[in-house]
Structure 1
């Protein structure tokens, strides 16, 4: 359809009034259906007649009838509205019901989610999982089904379901610890590594939270990658300040040890994020249920407090 043809089309509201009035042969019923006054419907139809240059209804005292021109126009307008409805439905529909695309921050993807997706596949073999590790907050343009984000939870236009807290904890390989146990004085003698991905000056805040002066501690390496911090700490020679959610499996396996009992609460939390209508998709609902179950069985109770399953 050309721009000129589009410009000549009558306003959509006039066509809606015409279809309803023609189907019921009643301006009153059309007005009740559209929650407007009968006078408003009459005005819209008169506007349509003027636009087309033909009379569409014969108006009588208590009834209206379609003119031959009205009869001729009605099926085309109904077909146009049907096509619009089909187009809107397809826009809202899931075009890939057997594929689940999950957008997730890279650190959580590699340290926790990816190793467990086999469990999801065993439970839901009908879905092919596509994992997209990215820091980008998804716009949900038709590809991504659900996102796992670590942030404030404020994502305009999207439903953001709080999942889990996180903290920063000091960790190192077991053979770094002194026989008499770790102290803050000992911590001054070793190299520290910190991650600035989500928290400013994490080691400084961690130490000051314990009412201890910051002077004398040596942050020998600063990075902006939570996964790399864990790799550096696992290699030995550094005490790392790592996210609990990412190092818990290494502590359970014995590859890393928690150096001090104190944990620094983080400002951000984990959220499941998606448009509201996406959450009703069977594949997204199945993933959400599996995710919550896995988190409940993996992480310590103080890290999560789910709002329903």
Structure 2
């Protein structure tokens, strides 16, 4: 048996916490201000803490009130989405996936057809950005892989290789002189350490005060620039396997440096156990196993 306060009092508190005005909350809920005040008071008595600080003309959430409001908002949103998916058969069969742009275009998109063949009943939607009103069934994240991450969340770690197109191949062994043609990936306001890690593994020091090179927002942009002959790039081998096979890119050094970054899988607790989510996660992990 769950020990929860009346759900109606939680709904009243959510509305009051968002409005920070009992009169407006009462209007939105179509009840009296007295009813709102009574529900809030009963909830505070149940919890044993104050949820609001009340001063003349001003209503504010306490620290406990703010924490509870965030929990309630998230929980009610998940409940609302799940009820909508149960009511709408189309939503039950729609699988929405959020993934980084490069992963989506370079790795997932060329392979997603095999999943669609295995499970033709699902309507697949791939996103590279969060959109208002879209409930994602699962999210693929790009992040630093550390010992605190659960192993079953990790898909694979990046493997850095050095690439360029055919036109730049003749100068590829003179990187110290071609720092201005190095293509960098921007990450959290700085360079992703792909070049630094690969150069360290190759024991190639760059001269002090070397040219900064070219910095771009995504690995996808860097890969396209390398294909076009704009410069040299250190990229994840998993993202360029098709480009290497086609000859659009050439790996100009056999060295492979293991990255500290990789791709992980994130599924909200509310989505665990749902058939479409479990099927996709199993399919995804089967294909990622070979990349470690």
In the superposition, relative to structure 1, how do residues 293 and 195 fare at CA in structure 2: closer, same or farther (>3 Å)?
same
**In 2, Cα distance between the equivalents of 1:280 and 1:8?**
39
Mapping of 1:118-157 within 5 angstroms? 118-134=113-129, 143-152=135-144
Out of 247, 265, 268, which is 1:272 matched to?
265
Tell me if structure 2 keeps the 8 A contact 1:109–1:133. Answer: yes
Q: Which TM-score applies when normalising by structure 2?
A: 0.62
Q: Which TM-score applies when normalising by structure 1?
A: 0.59
Quote the RMSD (CA, aligned, Å).
Answer: 3.7
Q: Deviations over 1:25-78 (max 9, x none)?
A: xxxxxxxxxxxxxxxxxxxxxxxxxxxxxxxxxxxxxxxxxxxxxxxxxxxxxx
Out of 167, 173, 184, which is 1:194 matched to?
184
- The structure having more radius of gyration, on CA atoms, is 1
Structure 1: 5+ residue stretches without partners:
13-86, 305-309
Mapping of 1:252-263 within 5 angstroms? 252-263=245-256
Out of 237, 240, 248, which is 1:247 matched to?
240
- SS across alignment from 2:253: strand
1:113 maps to what in 2? Answer: 108
- SS across alignment from 1:149: strand
In the superposition, relative to structure 1, how do residues 143 and 91 fare at CA in structure 2: closer, same or farther (>3 Å)?
closer
In the superposition, relative to structure 1, how do residues 207 and 152 fare at CA in structure 2: closer, same or farther (>3 Å)?
closer
2:195 maps to what in 1? Answer: 203
**In 1, Cα distance between the equivalents of 2:79 and 2:162?**
52
1:294 maps to what in 2? Answer: 287
Equivalenced residues, count: 218
**In 2, Cα distance between the equivalents of 1:188 and 1:142?**
47
**In 2, Cα distance between the equivalents of 1:197 and 1:148?**
17
Structure 1 range deviating more: 165-174 or 202-211: 202-211
Q: Deviations over 1:240-293 (max 9, x none)?
A: 111222112211222211111223332222111011231211111111122123
Tell me if structure 2 keeps the 8 A contact 1:160–1:273. Answer: no
- SS across alignment from 1:176: helix
Out of 6, 19, 32, which is 1:2 matched to?
32
Tell me if structure 1 keeps the 8 A contact 2:158–2:258. Answer: yes
Q: Deviations over 1:196-245 (max 9, x none)?
A: 23754543442233333211765532222211101110012421111222
